Each structure stands twice: as C-alpha cells, then as structure tokens.
Amino acid sequence: MSKKSMTILDVKAWITETKSILRNARIVNIYGEENIYLVKLWAKTSNVKPILLIEPGRRIHLTEYEHKVHEAKTPPPLIQGLRKYLRGGVIEDIVQVGSDRIIALIIRSSNSVYKLIVELVPRGIIALVDDKGKIIYSSEYKEMRDRVIRRGEEYKPPPPPPNIIEIGVDEALKLIGKGKDIVRGLVRGLGIPGELAEEALARLGVDKKTKVKDIDRNTLKKILDEVRGIIKSVEEGRIEPCIVEVNGVAETVLPFKPIAYANAKLIEYSSFNKALDEYFTRIEREEKALKEKKEVEELKEKLLSSIEKQKKLIEEYQSKAKELKEKADMLSTNYVALEEVANCVNKVFDSKGWNGVKECPSIVGYDKSRGVVKARISGVEVEFKVGSKPYDILRELYEEAKSYRRKAEKAEEALRNLEVKLNELVEKARRIAEKTKAKIRRREWYERYHWMITSGGYLVIGGRNIDQNESIVRKLLEPNDIFMHADIHGAPVVVVKTQGKTPSSEDLREAALLAACYSKAWKQGLGYVDVYWVKGSQVSKSPPSGEYLPKGSFMVYGKRNYIRVELRLGIGIEVIDKSPRIIISPPDKISSKTRYYAILVPGDQDPSKTAKKLREHWVKKAPKEEKPIIEALTVDDIRERLPGKSRVLVVKP
C-alpha cells in the first residue's frame, strides 16, 4: 500500500531543505479548496514565484503543479482570515513543533508575529496562532480528550510519540513489546516510521520478522543508533530524494536511497520538494480517480439493478398481456359455449342465488366477496362477474390485455431512460476523470513571465513588471541571447533564449510581437509600434561612470535593429498531456497550433469580460471528448495572457 502522508523523517528533511529557500519569502496570496491550501510566495532566492502546498494530515511542500482552485465570490472564513493576517507578511523561520509531525511557519506581518501551524498527524489541522499562542483561525474547531481547538484558546499540539533521539535503551526495550516482531515493535512502541525502521534493520542485517523477545539490549542499541544516524544525516542536509516504485505503482517517497526495497525501482530527484510534489500528485490523482470510480460503480450498480428489475417487469407485463389476449381469442372462438355458461349463471343466480350457480356447466368455483364466478371453457379458465354478458366478458379481457401492453410500453420507456442515464453516468465519469487530471498541471518556470515559443522552437520571455525586467536582465540574459524592447516608454524587457543558435528573421518577427503587444502601445490603442533588438552582449546593467541606473533600466550599446510590428495577437489553447494552457502567437500562425483560438486587437472591452466570453465560447464548441479539458481552464488563466482592453476580431472554432 502506498504511503499516505509524510513521516517524521520527511518533515525533518523538508525543513532542512526548504528553510533557506523560504526564509524572507513574502506571502503574495493564499487560496484553498478541499483541504488543500496554496500559499503563493515571492522569494529572492528563486527565479519563479514558489507555491507552498499544504494539506493538513498529509503533506507540505513546494509545488510546480498548477492546481486550479475555484475562487468563490466569498472565500471560506479560514482563507479570509489567513489573507487578512498573513498577506504581505514575511516568513522568518520554519520549525518543527516538539518531536511530532507538526510544522510552524513563523511569519512577521503588520509588525506582529504569527505562527501558521501545520499538523501532518492523522486528523491534523492548519491553524493561525498569535504571538501569545492563542488560536485565531483553524481549519477545524473541535474538543478532544487531550486538547481543545477553538478560537481564543491556547494552541496545544496532540500528545507526541516517544522522542527517538532522547529515549534510552531500557525504556525502548519495554516499549517495543507492543509489537509481535521487531519492526512492528519499533513502529507501534517507539513511533518510528515503518520505512525508516525497515531501512535501519536492513542496513544492520536484522530480519524484520524477528520476535521482540529475541532482541537483546545490545542489538536494540545498534538499531536505535542506526535510526538516529539516518535522521542525523537528513538534518545535516545529506538528502538523497527518491520515489520507490513497485510494479509501476509509487510505493513511497524518501529522503534517502533505501536498501530495504531490493526489487523496487528508484526514481531519483534533484530536491526533496520535487520528489514530494511528484509523489503526492500521483497519489492525489490515483485517489481522486479511485473515489470517482467507486462513486460511479455504486451508481452504476443501482442503475443496473433498476434496469434488471425493469426488464423483469416488462417481461411480466408482456407475458400477462399475451396470456389475456390468447384467453380472449380462445373464448371468442368458443363464443357459443361462453354465451351458454354466462346465460346459465345469470338465470340461476336470479332464482337460486350462489348455490344455483354450481348447476351451470363448466363452473369450477365462485367468490361471493368479489361477486365473480370461475368457469373452464375449452380448457381456458375465465373469471367474470355475475350479470355479465358474453360480449362484456370478452371486451374486459381485451381491455385488460391492452392495459398490460401499455404498462409494458411505459416500462420499456422507463428502461430506455435508465439506459440513457447509465450511458450519461459513464460519460460523466470519463469527463470528471479527464477534468481532474487537467486541473493538475506542472507549470513551467517561464510561465511566470509573458512567454511564447516561436515557430523555430525558441523560448521568448518578457517581464510583467519592473522586478521581472530587472531579474531577466541580471539573471537570465546571456551574451548570445536576443534582447528586445518596444520603442515606447512602458514596455517589457523581452529576451529570446537562443541556446547558442541563430534565430531566423521569422523567429525574430514573432518574438517582436510579444514585445509590442505587452507594451503600452496596446493600452494606447495604437495600430503599429517599432521594436528594436540587439545581442545580449550589447546590454548592460552598469551605468556610465558617474551616472545612476534606476531599477528596471539598462544600457544598450552599439547598433539597434528595428522591426515594425502590427498590434494583432493570436491567443489560443494548447493541450499538453491532457492539460490545457493558454498560448500566444502571430495571428497567421495560431490556427496551425490549435483549433481553439481568437485574434485580438486593441479595443475597449475589459480583459476579464473578454476572457469570460472566450472561455464560454470554447467550452460550448468543444466536442464531448475534449470538453472536460477545456472546462479545466479558468477565466484567470486567459485573463493573465491578455495585453489589456481588447476587441475580438475572430474566434474559432
């Protein structure tokens, strides 16, 4: 069975690796959905805006996957509270609370210090605590035997497991007796994660199924020392992140290379955050798919049961209708015999009552309470009321047969409806599964900028603000790259990453479109603007002697090359691994990249309205097999790629 949550060793490894990354990081915003919280950050140590993913009771790590969070008009109270107190705040430190899987992010905001407590223990919470240790907000409020989670109450962590670093051998010897064998003794008695216990035993050559009674004091000391050694190596930064895969299934994620998984496949990662991100994203997808499959299967079983009952009912109605018609046909053929019996019954009943009815031929019984007699005519048993005429008897039989045929027809219609619902359910399950997958997409590093990929495959990035302009020139611009800038005040720094190659004139024209459209020329409603380009080696952040360059400014030396650009932008949807993202392109090339696209020019429609209309159109026009993928796009996904107020010239399909 796959590991469901981070262990105490994972927590120590994560804090060790991440503390330096997130120290002094500023909180940009906080989002949340279904117990998953996303904290968007700005950190000087990172080229991208880190996103911290928190799932109480399970995990905490930086994520490169883009989780589509539905933003309600009124966010939940916890999200509102976290934004109120923490947005704009700075993370000063990350610490482990006690010896358990509890993490505290120390955050300074508005001249106050808060703790964002993240519990990764079962039924764990996320809580905002003030500088006096009082709970301001929590993901849950509850009263338990050993603590109370309530606003205004002092935050108390759950009772911790034994401290494996400090526990003595004699005490440990008593506690491991809680397990039938040594590995379960270490897990249940000392709270050591199973994978850590198994690894320590494997490294020492101790069979994990060894009975506790066969473990002496000296052996236990070696085991404890081995466990502590692994923990120490992680705390000192000797982390070897990997995912353990068994038969194609992700079994666990570890901060060390194990020897305990002899026949498993190890997938190594450059950081523990990446390993955690990849592992839990896989688990998340699998769990959602399993949950949805289970729900669908339950509904499917109910529908199939209803369909089976309906089929039996149809069969019953059809059989009854056939039986009645055959009976009526037989009696119609033997009308004289029927008439004789009916006339006799009516005659003797008037003179002798029920006792006289028995004297009539073919009578086999009667029911006084219902006022009917039973007769067998030519082998067919028929029931009719006293006083009935032969014609009435036949008419009632035919009417009853007709009634059962109508019931059968209605039942067949109900069956068709059930079968339609079943097909719709299967389709809905497919769409949900596709949409779930499409909602979780790895966001590439360059997507924090304005970006595009040219026809020749060159990556083009542009700054969204002064900070990004500064960062691009200082950190990302290389001598052989192409530097571009629209010849207008208020334009992004644009860089074509050449990887040492020479872009074609067509690639440069495409890249110039990005520089032009995201400049103030678009907002001013211009039709054309000039864009110049130079080699990266011609750009410098060093001002001439005695002068000062303000933030976001730069010096360009040597000849400038100019390109005249028309402000017309193609924007569309690209599908990567069944996940959507918005791309931009020259209008004459966008149709070759996607069937979902629009061509824009500067206009007067608000970007949010334009984004909403485009999304609604694309979702409406998408065929059923693609609709879940297109639906996974949010209005914000489209909005952030629009240059400003626009007018839509063309929208396809």
The pLDDT assigned to 262 comes to 79
DSSP state at residue 447: G
**3-class DSSP state for residue 131?**
coil
The pLDDT assigned to 70 comes to 58
Q: What is the mean predicted confidence (pLDDT) over 88-100?
A: 94
Location of structure tokens 């120490």:
232
Please name the residues in contact with 173: beta carbons below 8 A apart, sequence gap of 6 or more.
215, 217, 220
**Cα–Cα distance measured from residue 241 to residue 256, given in angstroms and rounded to the nearest whole number:** 6
Q: Are residues 467 and 405 in the same domain?
A: no
Residue 56 has pLDDT above 90, yes or no: yes
The pLDDT assigned to 37 comes to 94
Residue 651 has pLDDT above 90, yes or no: yes
CB < 8 Å & 24+ apart, contacts of 367-375: 373/345, 375/341, 375/345
Within a domain: 548: yes
Partnered with residue 582 across adjacent β-strands are 573
Which secondary-structure segment (H or E) carries 561?
strand 561-566
Tokens at residue 645, please?
């107020």
**3-class DSSP state for residue 358?**
coil
Q: What's the total number of domains in the chain?
A: 5
Q: What is the mean predicted confidence (pLDDT) over 257-270?
A: 88
Q: Are residues 348 and 248 in the same domain?
A: no
Task: Give residue-wise pLDDT tens across range 320-353.
Answer: 999 889 888 998 889 999 899 899 989 888 888 8
Q: What angle do CA 508, 513, 514 make, to 5 degrees?
A: 100
Tokens at residue 608, please?
């949010």
Q: Where do the H-state alpha helices sit in 210-271? A: 217-235
**3-class DSSP state for residue 457?**
coil
Tokens at residue 317, please?
């109605």
pLDDT category of residue 549 using cuts at 50, 70 and 90: confident
The pLDDT assigned to 97 comes to 93
The pLDDT assigned to 441 comes to 62
The pLDDT assigned to 121 comes to 94
- How many angstroms from the chain centroid is the CA of residue 497? 33
Within a domain: 433: no
The pLDDT assigned to 81 comes to 94
Location of structure tokens 């090359």:
561
Q: Are residues 465 and 542 in the same domain?
A: yes
Please name the residues in contact with 609: beta carbons below 8 A apart, sequence gap of 6 or more.
none
Q: Are residues 114 and 89 in the same domain?
A: yes
Please name the residues in contact with 406: beta carbons below 8 A apart, sequence gap of 6 or more.
none
Q: Are residues 12 and 145 in the same domain?
A: yes
Determine which of 218-232, 373-387, 406-420, 534-548 has the lowest per-residue pLDDT on average.
534-548
Which CATH number covers residue 64?
A: 2.30.310.10
Please name the residues in contact with 553: beta carbons below 8 A apart, sequence gap of 6 or more.
none
The pLDDT assigned to 83 comes to 95
Q: What is the mean predicted confidence (pLDDT) over 77-103?
A: 94
**CA-CA distances (angstroms) from residue 68 to 442, 556, 572, 594?**
11, 41, 18, 22
**3-class DSSP state for residue 264?**
coil
Within a domain: 301: no
Residue 215 has pLDDT above 70, yes or no: yes
Residue 438 has pLDDT above 60, yes or no: no
Contact assessment for residue 567 and residue 618, using Cβ atoms and an 8 Å cutoff:
no
Q: Are residues 340 and 403 in the same domain?
A: yes
Residue 442 has pLDDT above 80, yes or no: no
Tokens at residue 256, please?
């060390």
Q: What is the mean predicted confidence (pLDDT) over 8-26?
A: 95
Within a domain: 280: no
Q: Are residues 529 and 601 in the same domain?
A: no
Q: Are residues 394 and 488 in the same domain?
A: no
Task: Give residue-wise pLDDT tens across range 613-634.
Answer: 999 999 999 988 888 888 888 8
Could you tell me the residue range of the domain that residue 595 belongs to?
569-653
The pLDDT assigned to 435 comes to 61
Q: Are residues 533 and 613 in the same domain?
A: no
Average pLDDT for the chain? 90
Which CATH number covers residue 264?
A: 1.10.8
Q: Are residues 12 and 134 in the same domain?
A: yes
Task: Give residue-wise pLDDT tens across range 150-181.
Answer: 999 999 999 988 999 999 999 999 999 988 89
Among the candidates 93, 121, 149, a domain finishes at 149
Within a domain: 291: no
Q: Are residues 262 and 378 in the same domain?
A: no
Q: Is 576 or 266 the better-scoring residue by pLDDT?
A: 266
DSSP state at residue 178: G
Q: DSSP assignment of 386-428, as one string? A: TT--HHHHHHHHHHHHHHHHHHHHHHHHHHHHHHHHHHHHHHH
Within a domain: 319: yes
Q: Give 311's Cβ-side CA count (13 Å radius).
A: 8
Q: What percent of the chain has pLDDT over 70?
A: 96
Question: Model pTM?
Answer: 0.60
Q: What is the mean predicted confidence (pLDDT) over 592-604?
A: 95
**Cα–Cα distance measured from residue 235 to residue 256, given in angstroms and rounded to the nearest whole number:** 12
**Cα–Cα distance measured from residue 480 to residue 539, given in angstroms and rounded to the nearest whole number:** 11
Residue 220 has pLDDT above 90, yes or no: yes
Q: Are residues 575 and 562 in the same domain?
A: no
